Chain A
Amino acid sequence: MKSNINFLILISALFIASCGSGENEKTPKVDVETENSFNSEEFDFVLPQPISLAKAFQASGLSYNQSFTNSADNNKKYTTKVKQLLNLGVYSTDLAYSAINEKEQEARAYLKVVQELGNSVGLKPVFSDKKMIEKFDQNLNNMEAIEDLIYDIQEKSEEYMDDNDIRYLAVVQFSGSWTEGMYIGIMDYEAKQNKNLTVTIIDQINLLKNIIKGVKTYPTSDETLTFVIKKLTDILKTYENFPSVKKANESSTFVFPELSKVELSSLGTKVKDLRNYIVN
């Protein structure tokens, strides 16, 4: 049998060789295709989890305000895959934000919509576990166990998307998470003028360059996504052109920018616009 296979491969190799043009003789086609699909980009990135975004804001003194989150009832409005992905991200941040602030009922409602949207966007192997809500209910008074559950969902989603070469879905989802985190942070800053929050807002803007890069890898053209990329790029460009940021970047030593009230207000307007577009 083995010698038969070798014979067939030999015949095929001869056939391939006879079909090749002079130019391609030195480059076996199969090798080139394999090489491309296996080669990572020169610059890559690892984005944090939505719960890390929420925890970073919490550590800066962000308080809980339910009116800042997207109502779980809006879930039914999202009918296209891109809107579902973006709002899966929005709700993942709302879930984390509610859980770390020990708002069990709100977190439960968000877990349900995260599960529904997760199933809708093709992540059934992660979200079809009917016991997910059961596990949540069993741990209602144990926020550490609920956080464990959130970390577990995030890890499984990421693994599923990596294993199935659909990492672009994760970045679109993350762009929704990021926008919601920034929105909540900015709303809280505007309500309380807590200066510590501005540091976290700037930290999270630093994720934007890679978010935009990642979202652009979405394989099909989509009107919503084109608009979201435009808005995200506008936020980044606006931030980079702030005098305080330019001054910090021009320094030869490490300087953290301190945004003025006008700059924060301008940034806030743009983030709110984008968030309203995503959730409506």
Chain B
Amino acid sequence: MKSIKLILPIFAFALLLLSNTIADTGNSLDARLNTYKYECKQMIKPARYEGSRITYYAASKEVQKKTVEAYFLLNTEYKLAFSGKECSTKTSVRIYDSADDSKRTLLKEVKSIQGKNVVVSSKDLSETFAKKVTKTERLKVVYIEYTIGANVTKNEAAVLVIGYTDI
């Protein structure tokens, strides 16, 4: 009984320490992601900032896929900046014109963004769209598919920032 009385406060204290460590890990990841987001924003300048999305993924032995849908509402050049600096495994980016597997056309592939920042222009995507899909309509929506390599051992994320040339 006496030993339980002794262990309980120690346990509570240790749990507090443990949760602080986990919170710190999350906070420092967020801080790093904010830095990468800032870098991406700088890379798309002078484009107007349209939005961003941080795609989080957890530790896994399997290959993971995540998709982000983005819109090109305006008839102007859009810039997509990616940061894979937080990705510990090969992370490819494939950009499609549709979410439907049977109808979609691959517009652009970046083999891996792991450890670096990459910018893609909608001009390249639109050229492929015009060649492979249609010349009568412009590209207005894209589906960005991340394929994250197997054996991720911790929580990680890829950053996307979108901007456009003002009209």
Contact = CB atoms under 8 A, between A and B. Distances in A.
Contacts of B69: 43-46, 210
A4 B63 CA distance: 40
B74 A56 contact: yes
Nearest to B19: A30
A167 to B, nearest CB: 10
A38 B50 contact: no
A262 interface: no
Contact of B14 (A8, A46, A155, A203): A8
Interface string B3-18: 0000100110111011
Contacts, number: 119
B53 A46 contact: yes
A5 B34 CA distance: 31
A52 interface: yes
Contact of B67 (A42, A253, A254, A256): A42
Interface string A183-224: 000000000000000000001101100100000000000000
Nearest to B23: A34
A11 interface: yes
A254 B134 contact: yes
B160 interface: yes
A40 interface: yes
A207 B17 contact: no
A256 B95 CA distance: 21
A45 B18 contact: no
Interface residues of A, number: 41
Contact of A40 (B7, B34, B57, B164): B57
Interface in B6-52: 7, 10-11, 13-15, 17-19, 22, 26, 30, 34, 48-52
Interface string B51-67: 11111111100000111
A30 B18 contact: yes
A158 interface: yes
Interface in A135-157: 151, 154-155
Interface residues of B, number: 48
Interface of A: 5, 8-9, 11-12, 15, 30, 34-36, 38-49, 52-53, 55-56, 59, 151, 154-155, 158, 162-163, 203-204, 206-207, 210, 253-254, 256
Interface of B: 7, 10-11, 13-15, 17-19, 22, 26, 30, 34, 48-59, 65-71, 73-75, 99, 133-134, 136-137, 140-141, 155, 157, 160, 162, 164, 167
**5 residue pairs, one from A and one from B, having the closest CB atoms:** A12-B14, A38-B155, A8-B14, A35-B58, A45-B69
Given A48-B50, A256-B137, 14 more contacts: A11-B7, A38-B58, A40-B55, A40-B57, A41-B66, A44-B53, A45-B53, A46-B52, A46-B53, A48-B51, A52-B50, A151-B48, A162-B52, A163-B30
15 contacts: A8-B10, A12-B10, A12-B15, A15-B7, A30-B19, A38-B58, A39-B57, A40-B66, A44-B53, A46-B52, A47-B51, A56-B74, A203-B73, A206-B140, A207-B71
